[in-house]
Structure 1
Amino acid sequence: MDNLIARQELNTEQQLMINAEFEKRKKSKGIAYILWLFLGSLGGHRFYAGDIGLGIGMIIVWVLGWFIFFIPTIIWAIIDLFLIGKRIDQLNEQIEAEIINKVKMLKS
């Protein structure tokens, strides 16, 4: 919602600049879910979303899982299934806000 308010102050050319840059940089929920499906236990979807620390944490849990039948890894991956969409939405809002701020700085 804040991004919509911030965009109201901009002219059409600036809006087009924001849209073009956002289309290049935005993250896809579809790709995140595919990464979760194939590399979920290794945190592939976390690395895609820029959550490097959590991705490394998932790898560590996966390695430790060899000794406890992967139960923590499976639980974490299932929980992430429900969190991926919201995380990608937050990330895209953040990316859009950064682009809007850059365009506003160019305007000044």
Structure 2
Amino acid sequence: MDLSTAEQILIEQRVTNESKSTAVAYLLWLFLGGLGAHRFYIGRVGSGLAILTLMIVGILLAPVGVGTIFLVPAVIWMLIDAFLIPGMIQQQKEEVRSTLGKQMYAERLIAAERGGR
């Protein structure tokens, strides 16, 4: 799939506009990381729900004494995410770039097909 320079520039502009901010992701991680907010923001809803579930179950079971079984993995996961956030943001940008490139290429094929009639 060969795109022109102008098309590549357009894609990069749209990637910049549509991509998530690393700073926002880190702020969400810092203040709402235990709720998985940074993962929801980046678009990883499933793992965001997993962290949220671990925290809620852990907090609810804390008075019984078994809450740490759920809270410890959630906190460890959150700490590991501090190192994974830049990679997750980069992966999200690559997904946007790929999707936009495929859309632009498909639009060009459709335009060429209509022009050839």
TM-score by length of 2: 0.78
Structure 1 residue ranges (4+ consecutive) displaced by more than 3 angstroms after TM superposition: none
Structure 2 equivalent of residue 3 of structure 1: none
Gaps of 5+ in 1: 1-5
Question: Once the two structures are superposed, what CA deviation does each residue of 1:28-71 show, in whole Å capped at 9, x if it has no partner?
Answer: 21111111001100000110111111111111111122222432
Determine which structure has greater relative contact order: mean sequence separation of CA pairs < 8 Å that are 6+ residues apart, divided by chain length: 1
Structure 2 equivalent of residue 17 of structure 1: 10
For residues 85-104 of structure 1, what are the structure 2 equivalents within 5 Å? 85-104=86-105
| Kept in 2: contact 1:28–1:88 (CA 8 A) | yes
The alignment yields a C-alpha RMSD, in angstroms, of 1.5
State the percentage of identical aligned residues. Answer: 35
How far apart are the structure 1 equivalents of 2:35 and 2:85? Answer: 15
TM-score by length of 1: 0.83
From 8, 11, 27, give the equivalent of 2:20: 27
How far apart are the structure 1 equivalents of 2:6 and 2:33? Answer: 40
| Kept in 2: contact 1:43–1:58 (CA 8 A) | yes
Gaps of 5+ in 2: 110-117
Structure 2 equivalent of residue 45 of structure 1: 38
| Kept in 2: contact 1:65–1:72 (CA 8 A) | no
Structure 1 equivalent of residue 80 of structure 2: 79
Question: Once the two structures are superposed, what CA deviation does each residue of 1:10-34 show, in whole Å capped at 9, x if it has no partner?
Answer: 2233123212321221112111111
Out of 46-55 and 9-18, give the one that drifted further.
9-18
Out of 42-51 and 80-89, give the one that drifted further.
80-89
Larger gyration radius, structure 1 or structure 2: 2
Task: Tell me which amino acid in the other structure corresponds to 2:106.
Answer: M
How many residues are paired up?
101
